[in-house]
């Protein structure tokens, strides 16, 4: 039961971390493999690079709203879609981090197979939560068709720093998550580079 509580604390902490994470502006130049056919040839690089986890230590999401005449609605739609793209990428990152953590605990205690099922259920619940700490850092309108593009950013360093503030998280779990966050991020970046 104690191990199950630790797993639950990990997901509560990650959710709290997202709520506490504050992301600033910063460098908008994201690094990734070039897209074969540009989405908008005249657009900024981020429009054509798309969403993902990038080498600068951030998650980026690109949202597009096309055919919306009301400018405020187009901005809100593009912003929401950019945040949704970050959620997709971030959920992959969290799943990787959780899988690694569970592999670590299973290696030490072979009685934790039921815990793995609880973690899976917690992950399903966690993926339905709203991400906090995501900041819209840029917009661009394609003059050829009026499409509104939004660039959203979530900073991994901020997520890791927020782990220090999560007093309810077991110190071993917190240390593991902090120590392996960069590795999980690097693994995800490498997987996306293969696509």
- The pLDDT tens digits of the residues spanning 94-132 come to 665 565 555 555 555 555 544 444 444 444 434 344 456
Helix/strand/coil for 139: strand
Cα distances from 122 to residues 10, 15, 36, 61, 158, in angstroms, run: 10, 11, 38, 24, 23
pLDDT at position 24 is 37
Interatomic CA distance for residues 139 and 148, integer angstroms:
7
182 vs 28 pLDDT, higher one: 182
Question: Closest Cα partner for 189 from 59, 95, 26?
Answer: 59
pLDDT at position 169 is 53
pLDDT at position 108 is 52
Whole-structure pTM value: 0.54
Cβ pair 135, 128 in contact under 8 A: no
pLDDT at position 58 is 85
pLDDT digits (tens, 9 = 90+) for 152-187: 998 877 666 655 555 555 566 656 666 666 666 666
- Helices marked H in 42-170: 45-49, 71-108, 113-126, 156-165
Helix/strand/coil for 39: coil
Q: What is the mean pLDDT of the chain?
A: 66
pLDDT at position 159 is 65
């Amino acid at each position: 039961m104690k191990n199950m509580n630790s797993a639950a604390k990990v997901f509560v902490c990650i959710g709290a971390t997202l709520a506490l994470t504050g992301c600033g502006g910063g460098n908008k130049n994201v690094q990734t493999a070039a897209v074969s056919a540009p989405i908008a040839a005249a657009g900024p690089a981020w429009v054509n690079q798309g969403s993902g986890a990038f080498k600068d230590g951030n998650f980026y999401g690109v949202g597009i709203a096309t055919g919306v005449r009301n400018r405020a609605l187009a901005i809100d739609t593009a912003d929401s879609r950019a945040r949704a793209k970050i959620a997709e990428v971030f959920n992959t990152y969290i799943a990787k981090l959780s899988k690694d953590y569970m592999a670590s605990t299973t290696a030490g205690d072979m009685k934790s197979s039921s815990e793995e099922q609880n973690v899976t259920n917690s992950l399903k619940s966690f993926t339905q939560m709203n991400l906090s700490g995501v900041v819209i850092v840029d917009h661009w309108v394609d003059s050829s068709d009026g499409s509104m593009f939004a660039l959203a950013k979530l900073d991994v360093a901020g997520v890791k720093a927020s782990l220090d503030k999560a007093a309810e998280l077991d110190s071993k779990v917190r240390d593991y998550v902090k120590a392996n966050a960069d590795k999980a991020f690097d693994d995800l970046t490498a997987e996306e580079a293969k696509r």
